[in-house]
Structure 1
């Protein structure tokens, strides 16, 4: 797919991954949310780069309006939606001045979103779900693309926040950096001063339209149906609406990996979409991974077997011709692996591991091809062996 905007999208993902350590899933999630015009929630302790990631993304997209706010129990509608117009109020018109506030933003970050009180909640729900803001009773279409929500904790039951929680199709848990090498790199500021790529609002809009055109094959629909049945057997019942909305997420993930067709393994991202309560996360993840990873796993298994066969065939046939042929086949297998990695970033670690193994086999083959004494020695072995028998 030779689209320059897709190249920019790949550059943005790489740059964000270089700047934010151990946030690959969240980076993918926030870009998928943006492409699919869905909303994303990050749940985790303070100091885990939730707001920093959102701010950085807003800087990258030129021409968009960004709104960020920290909600508290005492936040007022004026803070989020704008103050009342005093001139209109004198005329008995209840109208808000929305300049620089959420109703005029393309990208929104709301921190501690579950602190939203009832005075804010109803307008927030309508704005997020329907992209409408009622000003003096009249519905106004808003330019909102995505809301990125963040919270240090899950909403408590009985607080009336279920509807707000449901508005976020993608939900990611986030934690502190686990790997010590990454932690030290973060402390040193490695990757923090790099020049970040950018994309215009118009280019992003084109990508969003392109996302809508990504083809979903029947095998993906059938897999989703099987997942729905298995989840139902476990007592987990995502709504039909949530499944329907998830299709746009699959299309966005495929486009992010520069494909025009959804693959079975794209379904893996739905482990962040099809659960409703914390105790369901593990079960949903297991069910979805059983369906999504089969295709990539099978490809890796096939390539590994082919590489092993090529290597041992070359060991048994000691001729230079066999060595050259084996080298060509190894190159082809490595090309397949790199292509697989490009389209399956979530399995990057597994694919890189096999790339290392196949590369090691290829190097040994090349060493034997380039060694002038190797084949002469093998010839001598064959002669002595034939005499012996």
Structure 2
């Protein structure tokens, strides 16, 4: 059932740039003998957030970069936090799950809620979706008899006469922004398999009919999990999972009664809702480079996830084959950025790492969260001894990456590119706290007057020396693993440069 929260936005979003409604496009495609595809979504925009108390740096950013002011950034952060607080006052005892849901919404991912019946899963989803203005919401309870046309739209009769199975997607899951699918595991495997591309790639793939969907997040609910091959693939699409336990504490039950007496179970609409366009800016910030994740934080993230896999396999008897997919590992970066936004920061830091448990663990399984937080704390203490060395190395890796991406594109010959690279080198060799101060002071004057034709070999020589010095001082095995891997890359690049001279 489609719930229009804003009829005006519905009409706007239902049509593509050439003014045709999806239903009209299907008819047109049949009349012309070919299937018409909805226009592919535009590539994510690039954003930059000005940092306070920092002069604008001269960098070579793409011309199409948009600036989100600090005032706008703060307003977006407040709006999301206000929505979280509002929902938490309507649905008691679900604060962590509500925060997890908003992380899923911000990252454009899906959430699975598991509990016994009567635990207000559907009410939770409806109350959260009510915080958004201009969103199309689809809701459906699935059964073993639910067919694809119940989700994707009825089949077009005229198309069937021509031997084609075409969905009329008007009012369906395909054209919705958010969706709630209840009792998802009651659905048959055929239906679940047909959901995969829509959940993962945000498009309906039905033979020749391919429709790019505005679907952002699906919240699914279940009373149980059945294990099949297709179910494993479906579960992997729901990066955020929560188990809702019973809570019969008398004071908690009294609090629920008090809330019920105020609204009698009706969904409450906040005074200020988040516009879908503003929320899309948040999502695009997360998918752009505007929210920076330092290399040191990425190292900690990957180490924590690796340790969590190993300890889970060792400590949980029925999870000997437990793993975290590469897709989940990569997308965990989005959660770090979302966490930074909720805290009002344009850069992720160590405090965001603990929030990874919202994605990696199943909320409500306290033993999983406890294990994760313990690993996270230990990792932060463990790498602190090499932090200075590693931050230097990741600065060096950034320089090397820029060099590799520019060396074969004539880009380094431009003044902007040359100044960008020289500025990065000067920043690296001028760090006041570096343990290599004596060494890099000798290089300072050298790089100030570095000519363009010598910048590549001289930079590679500096990076290689930096790796050698870092390897001597690094205390942890993992730090040496990172440095040695980087040194090998620099060595091969240096060898190629010599051959090309």
The residue number in structure 2 matching 1:160 is: 230
**TM-score for both structures, normalised by structure 1:** 0.69
The alignment partner of 2:228 has SS state of coil
In the alignment, what sits opposite 2:145? 74
Matches within 5 A, 1:254-333: 254-274=340-360, 284-292=368-376
Report the counterpart of residue 144 of structure 1 in structure 2: 215
Render the CA deviation track for 1:99-140: whole Å, top value 9, x for unaligned. Answer: 111111110111111122133122201110111102452321
Distance in 2 separating the partners of 1:75 and 1:209: 34
Show structure 1 runs of 4+ deviating over 3 A.
176-179, 190-195, 281-284, 291-297
Partner of 2:298: 221
Show CA shifts across 1:307-354 (max 9, x none). xxxxxxxxxxxxxxxxxxxxxxxxxxxxxxxxxxxxxxxxxxxxxxxx
Taking a change above 3 Å as real, the CA distance of residues 233 and 7 of structure 1, as seen in their structure-2 partners, is closer
* Maintained 8 Å contact 1:32/1:256: no
Deviations 1:176-225 (A, max 9, x none): 34543232121122695465131111111111122233221233212222
Query: SS of 2:279's equivalent?
Result: helix
Unpaired segments of 5 or more residues in structure 1? 298-389
CA deviations on 1:40-85 (whole Å, 9 max, x unpaired) are: 1111112222111111122221111111111111111121111111
Are 1:110 and 2:181 an aligned pair?
yes
Show the counterpart of 2:407: none
Matches of 2:260 and 2:99, distance apart in 1: 21
Q: 2:195 aligns with which of 120, 124, 144?
A: 124
Does structure 1 residue 210 correspond to structure 2 residue 285?
yes
Give the Cα separation in 2 of the matches to 1:29 and 1:227: 20
Partner of 2:108: 37
Normalising to structure 2: TM-score of the pair? 0.54
Deviation at 1:148, TM superposition (A): 0.8
**1:85 aligned residue:** 156
Match of 1:324 in 2: none
The 2-side partners of 1:7 and 1:275 are apart by 27
Match of 1:156, SS state, is: coil
Q: Secondary structure at the match of 1:66?
A: strand
- Gaps in structure 2 of 5+ consecutive residues: 1-69, 314-321, 382-501
1:73–1:115 CA contact under 8 A, matched in 2: yes
Q: Distance in 1 between matches of 2:215 and 2:230?
A: 24
Contact 2:130 2:269 in 1 (8 A): no
Please give the alpha-carbon distance, in whole angstroms, between the structure 2 residues aligned to 1:191 and 1:128.
38
Q: Structure with the greater relative contact order (CA < 8 A, sep ≥ 6): 1 or 2?
A: 1
Residue 160 of structure 1 aligns to a residue in which SS?
helix
| Residue of structure 2 equivalent to 1:373 | none
Q: How is 1:172-191 mapped onto 2 (pairs within 5 angstroms)? A: 172-189=242-259
Structure 2 distance, partners of 1:55, 1:96, is 26
